[in-house]
Structure 1
Amino acid sequence: MKRILTIALSLGIAAGASAQQTQKPPLHGKNWMAVTGKPLAATAGAMIFQQNGNAVDAACAMLAATCTMWDVLSWGGETQALIYNPKTGKVIAINALGVAPTGATPEFYKGKDYDFPPEYGPLAAVTPGTVGGLCYMLANYGTMSLKEVLAPAMDMAAGYPIDAQTANQMERGKKYINQWPYSKAVFLTHPGATREAPEAGEIFVQKDLLTTLQKLVAAEQDALAKKKSRKEAIMAAYDRFYKGDIAKEFVRGCQEQGGLITLQDLANWKPVEEEPLHVNYKGIEVYKLKEWTQGPMLLQSLNILENFDLKAMGYNSPSYIHTIYQTMNLTFADRDFYYGDPAFNKNPAIAGLLNKDYAKARAKQINPSQNDAAAGPGDPYPYIGKTNPYLHFLEERSAFMDTTNGRKPGGFVPKHDATFLPTASPEQLYAANDIDSTYMDRLWRGTTSVEAADKDGWVVSITPSGGWLPACIAGKTGVGMSQRAQSFVLDSAICPFNVIAPGKRPRVTLTPSMALKDGKPFLCFGVQGGDTQDQNLLQFFLNVVEFGMTVQQATEAANINTNQLWLSLGGTTVKDRQPRPGSILLNSNTPEKTRQQLQQMGYHLSFGDRTSGPINAIFLDRAHNSLWGGSSNHGEDYGIGW
């Protein structure tokens, strides 16, 4: 039956809401819903809900647990969130992304022969943001103490049975881990053995991290003993991390290993509460974080896709796939050139990029029968009554856009995208996907997602990340440093908005999502997977809105991925990051007729059994006053409802 459903979906038969034939059952609850990337972390959220915490409390507990479990992130990473506040009826955005440290300039990295900041190690680090983001959200929108919310994570730091996925990441990354003494002491629990990392099920203990978390709680409890308010006490813990003894040890350990972060960098950093961006798609308000993330790319895509009858095309028909692919190519081209930290931008383009007339103009650029290998950034400035000040960079950019190297478009294969074989037979493509796991690992890894909702109307969507394995731990803190600096560029011709500078936030792939209908929460959703995040979330949203799928069906449904974009992660040369025109990842069950039509349109096909990403989502069912949870059948994502 599972195989039948997968084939039906790939053929374009959108299962209705009454058809529940999914690989994982849908989740139902009337009081609360907690969904995230690991079963134990979802349990942490459930524990907080059972103690009468709200969705913010539960989300913070899940965030803390996933960091402690190194679920493709750690405590030294970054946190991005959207929160619906039922008291005000508004969606707010939390920007807890770290910034480039003192000394992090293009000249510094170019002096070390980098075209982009490195993928791993201390020089990949921006300042840690997750602790600050968690404290800010909890203090301002939660109800519980830091001690209560961190209790599950502290219990896990004292020792929890590690899962195979994480343990195997430690083993695979040990060539890096062995270079960093503090990481080696934590992750390689069997030094000198054939397998140095923990085994699945082994009780994994993190004494230094436990001490750090205990210090945070102690700072809070000391403040409460001095009659400080709940909020003031939580922020006392925040101060200890960014300005106190934890900060000093973090900086010492960072600099000892060659990193740039200073005490002043930590003290100057702070999370920012923002107004999110949003567009209306057929009566549904869809919210994303600002252009320091890739989130607006999804909003731009919806604006373009409004100009097409997607439902009439049919789910995953050749025309539907082509339209989605071409739309994403245009919006990724805009992302790659115009997105970056708005605090450093005197001439923002985002209002023009989200203009409906600009979207109509971009929609007219789509050739209905052929892939546009030369799709590039548009010019949004006339739509806001301005002249584009970056046209000269667009001309210079052509030098970076030669992806052919004397071959056909898409012929270059970056080392981490080695399953791309445009001239291979289907059998060879399947074999390549089985043999070379590097591409699939990079395609799907990168972060986790945290989704929570409660009966009182609080809804939270978080996409935290950074400090993933193999992580460089800063001294005796137990905290892994972020690797997010790699998402900066060093040349303005690639993206004038995202050139690295001290105090600047990189343009990240991290992208929580929320949608409101009739002024009330409708969906919250998120996914991991680097540049594929908004690709998969766009298709998830359309699966629900256009094709009537339940959230569980939509998380499992076959999607497509484009690689006609600049990679945001991995590789330190321009050659590693360049777009690959026409490269498309399709589900392995894509019918032969569809494959042939796409090839005739100029696409180079590769295939995978997993093409929808590990999506997590919550649907707020107003008709029945209940909650539906969806958690992908890919990986270890898990949810609990009540």
Structure 2
Amino acid sequence: MFKSSSIYKKGKFLCIPLFALATFSATAQQTQKPPLHGKHWMAITGKPLAATAGSQIFQKGGNAVDAACAMLAATCTMWDVLSWGGETQALIYHPKLKKVIAINALGVAPTGATADFFKSKGYNFPPEFGPLAAVTPGTPGGLCFMLAKYGTKSLKEVLQPAMQMAEGYPIDAQTANSIERGKERIKTWPYSKKVFLTHEGEEREAPEAGEIFVQRDLLETLSKMISAEQEALKAGKSREDAIMAAYDRFYKGDISDEFVRGSKEQGGLITKEDLANWKPIEEEPLQINYKGIDVYKLQSWTQGPAMLQALNILKNFDLKSLGYNSAPYIHTVYQAMNLAFADRDFYYGDPAFQPQTPIKGLLSDDYAAQRAATIDPTKNNPSTQPGDPYPFQNSKNPYIDLLQQRAKLTDTTAQGEGDFVPKHDVTASLLPVDSLYNDRLLRGTTSVEAADAEGWVVSITPSGGWLPACIAGNTGVGMSQRLQSFVLDSLISPFNVVEPGKRPRVTLTPAMALKDGKPFLSFAVQGGDTQDQNLLQFFLNVVEFDMKPQPAAEAANINSNQLWLSLGGTKIDDRKPRAGSLLLDRRTPKDVVEQLERMGYTIQLGNRTSGPINAIYFDEKHGTLWGGSSNNGEDYGIAW
């Protein structure tokens, strides 16, 4: 016999069968990593050594911004699926102003990067790799900007751990093996080959795990930045102005000269003017309220608002009564995510350019209720399309005809069957035939979380310049590959068509939540289009199912592939939605899997489906910090 449960939905009840709700015992489960506790500070990021870099700065009296910048620098130097030429996205809680601040340090499309240029080369999307995939570097400028404005330490102090690593650090197996896997591509770029292939001509040309990996060119670049800072201090400049002198040397001085020269030599488009004209932006974050908790995300140049939209849709359902990861719960969350991602795929883009994302309508509760009402509680909708948010901001949608044409592009067949293994699973070498698609879906980065006793909180999702990276000349700096997140055809998205000076709509999406005006959660995750899927479920684990951050970070997630991929592939078919494709954890009870299959899903199973998520929870009752770092990956935290 099947039981039923009522879900309240804007004035009416829907009766949904609960097929023998065999769910994980989420709130009581033991964790593979111990919970992290701290009173004075907490530092969490994607590599153990990088977390140590943050702890060193805390121990020297730095605040959370100082420590976060040190971790950012260290992860870039360790090539933790990013490098110094990538991009940085951050949310900062300012305890004195009692507000959340957003930092946009994403690079822009260079001169000559037009849709016609890439189409002339036979692309349907900008390329995945090499100099033509690069936007201008954002991380050096974002780090300097955050540190100068909100930190307390000098750039010299904050970069010291990273510079020690550049002098030589024992490389980890994940990075070393990634170099080896990508060596054929690396060989096509002379400056990358010089840095990465330390055993050129041997059977294994990459460094071995544990080998001391030296980056002389990068050390020289960082030393030049420190020299500029120290000279400015000797000239009587303030701490802030001295840090920005280092910024200027990177973007307007001899470092930029070599970066541009090396990029152009290898076929890149970035000019000196592109670097000199770029700057990081401080902006207001977007925010919605979910059951008394204010949730913050970056603006529509990221996918972050998709999580806010999904939460608004899910307000219309009684999730807790469904049970953690029951078939009806998974179905409801999947459908809400699909609706939000359909809007993301069409409407999101750089708000500094026209057309502007109709963000007021997209984040309207009434629009969310309208979208929620379209969810069929009994089956998947294989052709979820963007909605029309314009009436909810008292305007008319100029793209109705385009939306109707666009719907024909959507693939409504279930694809991608197979035994799916997430990117960071220990059995990743056993990837299925469809592994290329799944790599694009999950293409990683890292995350940085920091908090201190004074009340500063930082959440960062940096990325770009990942392996195999094309290094720009003798700078030691890997160029970003983020240009691939643009589209070339307004039929896919009129808001995200590539233009010089424009920022692509990226997947990178740190998150923060306040309760009663005080920090409640700070959380982020690596990955591509899965980021806001994982973060949404982590947040619901804490808020709906009363999990602490470590169990919530390790808990089984689901992933939807029913969206347009943001990364990888140069053809339309590489990125089209895969209707009904659903990743589940292997521990999912058989009856739940079978019920979802009857609802129209094609199931993939993974050993670890939890992110990897990094998070800090603020225990207001005890005045302490709780840390969580998923068991899926090398992410690690230190606290005191």
Partner of 1:367: 376
Partner of 2:8: none
User: SS of the residue aligned with 1:530?
Assistant: coil
In structure 1, give the amino acid aligned to 2:113: A
User: SS of the residue aligned with 1:531?
Assistant: coil
Q: Tell me, yes or no, if the aligned pair for 2:418 and 2:432 is still in contact at 8 Å.
A: no
Once the two structures are superposed, residues 438-479 of structure 1 have per-residue CA deviations (whole angstroms, 9 ceiling, x without a partner) of 555544442100000000000000000000000000000000
In structure 2, give the amino acid aligned to 1:109: F
Find the aligned partners of 2:459 and 2:494 in 1 and give their Cα distance.
30
Do residues 252 (structure 1) and 261 (structure 2) align?
Answer: yes
Q: Tell me, yes or no, if the aligned pair for 1:371 and 1:582 is still in contact at 8 Å.
A: yes
Do residues 183 (structure 1) and 187 (structure 2) align?
Answer: no
Do residues 280 (structure 1) and 284 (structure 2) align?
Answer: no
Q: Tell me, yes or no, if the aligned pair for 1:315 and 1:547 is still in contact at 8 Å.
A: yes
Once the two structures are superposed, residues 342-371 of structure 1 have per-residue CA deviations (whole angstroms, 9 ceiling, x without a partner) of 000344311100000000000000000010
In structure 2, give the amino acid aligned to 1:486: Q
Partner of 1:425: none
Partner of 1:547: 545
- Deviation, 1:420, is 6.6
User: SS of the residue aligned with 1:222?
Assistant: helix
Partner of 2:480: 482
Pick one of 425, 434, 455 that aligns with 2:453: 455
User: SS of the residue aligned with 1:343?
Assistant: coil
Aligned pairs (5 A) from 1:150-549 = 150-401=159-410, 403=411, 409-411=413-415, 413=416, 433=431, 438=436, 441-549=439-547
Do residues 132 (structure 1) and 141 (structure 2) align?
Answer: yes
Partner of 2:23: 12
TM-score calculated relative to the size of structure 2: 0.94
In structure 2, give the amino acid aligned to 1:43: T
Find the aligned partners of 1:354 and 1:340 in 2 and give their Cα distance.
15
Once the two structures are superposed, residues 146-197 of structure 1 have per-residue CA deviations (whole angstroms, 9 ceiling, x without a partner) of 0000000000000000000000000000111000000000000000011000
Once the two structures are superposed, residues 322-360 of structure 1 have per-residue CA deviations (whole angstroms, 9 ceiling, x without a partner) of 000000110000000000000003443111000000000
User: SS of the residue aligned with 1:634?
Assistant: coil
User: SS of the residue aligned with 1:586?
Assistant: strand
Q: Tell me, yes or no, if the aligned pair for 1:433 and 1:440 is still in contact at 8 Å.
A: no
Find the aligned partners of 1:613 and 1:443 in 2 and give their Cα distance.
12
TM-score calculated relative to the size of structure 1: 0.94
Q: Tell me, yes or no, if the aligned pair for 1:303 and 1:356 is still in contact at 8 Å.
A: yes
Q: Tell me, yes or no, if the aligned pair for 2:338 and 2:563 is still in contact at 8 Å.
A: yes
Q: Tell me, yes or no, if the aligned pair for 1:525 and 1:616 is still in contact at 8 Å.
A: yes
Q: Tell me, yes or no, if the aligned pair for 2:472 and 2:478 is still in contact at 8 Å.
A: yes
Find the aligned partners of 1:579 and 1:256 in 2 and give their Cα distance.
37
Find the aligned partners of 1:436 and 1:564 in 2 and give their Cα distance.
15
- Deviation, 1:266, is 0.2
Find the aligned partners of 1:259 and 1:442 in 2 and give their Cα distance.
23
Find the aligned partners of 1:196 and 1:432 in 2 and give their Cα distance.
23
Q: Tell me, yes or no, if the aligned pair for 1:341 and 1:506 is still in contact at 8 Å.
A: yes
Alpha-carbon RMSD: 1.7
Q: Tell me, yes or no, if the aligned pair for 1:304 and 1:359 is still in contact at 8 Å.
A: yes
In structure 1, give the amino acid aligned to 2:73: A
- Deviation, 1:418, is 7.1
In structure 2, give the amino acid aligned to 1:301: A
- Deviation, 1:433, is 4.9
Pick one of 561, 565, 569 that aligns with 1:571: 569
Partner of 1:4: none
Partner of 1:3: none
Which consecutive unaligned segments of at least 5 residues does structure 1 have? 1-9, 422-428
Question: Which ranges of 4 or more aligned residues in structure 1 deviate by more than 6 Å?
Answer: 429-432
Q: Tell me, yes or no, if the aligned pair for 2:442 and 2:529 is still in contact at 8 Å.
A: no
Q: Tell me, yes or no, if the aligned pair for 1:610 and 1:634 is still in contact at 8 Å.
A: yes
Do residues 80 (structure 1) and 84 (structure 2) align?
Answer: no
Find the aligned partners of 2:534 and 2:348 in 1 and give their Cα distance.
20
- Deviation, 1:399, is 3.5
Find the aligned partners of 2:418 and 2:190 in 1 and give their Cα distance.
32
Once the two structures are superposed, residues 117-146 of structure 1 have per-residue CA deviations (whole angstroms, 9 ceiling, x without a partner) of 000000000000000000000000000000
Partner of 2:619: 621
- Deviation, 1:392, is 2.0
User: SS of the residue aligned with 1:344?
Assistant: coil
Partner of 1:102: 111
Q: Tell me, yes or no, if the aligned pair for 2:76 and 2:84 is still in contact at 8 Å.
A: yes
User: SS of the residue aligned with 1:342?
Assistant: coil
In structure 2, give the amino acid aligned to 1:510: L
Find the aligned partners of 1:381 and 1:444 in 2 and give their Cα distance.
31
Find the aligned partners of 2:178 and 2:212 in 1 and give their Cα distance.
16
Find the aligned partners of 2:601 and 2:580 in 1 and give their Cα distance.
5
User: SS of the residue aligned with 2:530?
Assistant: helix
In structure 2, give the amino acid aligned to 1:244: G
Partner of 2:599: 601
Which consecutive unaligned segments of at least 5 residues does structure 2 have? 1-20, 422-426
Find the aligned partners of 1:321 and 1:501 in 2 and give their Cα distance.
39
User: SS of the residue aligned with 1:21?
Assistant: coil
Find the aligned partners of 1:618 and 1:587 in 2 and give their Cα distance.
24
Q: Tell me, yes or no, if the aligned pair for 2:523 and 2:613 is still in contact at 8 Å.
A: yes
In structure 1, give the amino acid aligned to 2:393: I
In structure 1, give the amino acid aligned to 2:102: A
Find the aligned partners of 2:428 and 2:466 in 1 and give their Cα distance.
29
Once the two structures are superposed, residues 493-525 of structure 1 have per-residue CA deviations (whole angstroms, 9 ceiling, x without a partner) of 100000000000000000000000000000000
User: SS of the residue aligned with 2:339?
Assistant: helix
**How many residues end up aligned between the 2 structures?**
615
User: SS of the residue aligned with 1:210?
Assistant: helix
In structure 2, give the amino acid aligned to 1:335: R
Q: Tell me, yes or no, if the aligned pair for 2:139 and 2:462 is still in contact at 8 Å.
A: yes
Q: Tell me, yes or no, if the aligned pair for 1:286 and 1:515 is still in contact at 8 Å.
A: yes
Find the aligned partners of 2:313 and 2:195 in 1 and give their Cα distance.
48
Aligned pairs (5 A) from 1:51-62 = 51-62=60-71
Pick one of 556, 581, 585 that aligns with 1:583: 581
Find the aligned partners of 1:430 and 1:481 in 2 and give their Cα distance.
26
Partner of 2:3: none
Aligned pairs (5 A) from 1:139-154 = 139-154=148-163
Once the two structures are superposed, residues 235-266 of structure 1 have per-residue CA deviations (whole angstroms, 9 ceiling, x without a partner) of 00000000000000000000000000000000
Q: Tell me, yes or no, if the aligned pair for 1:73 and 1:469 is still in contact at 8 Å.
A: yes
In structure 2, give the amino acid aligned to 1:274: E
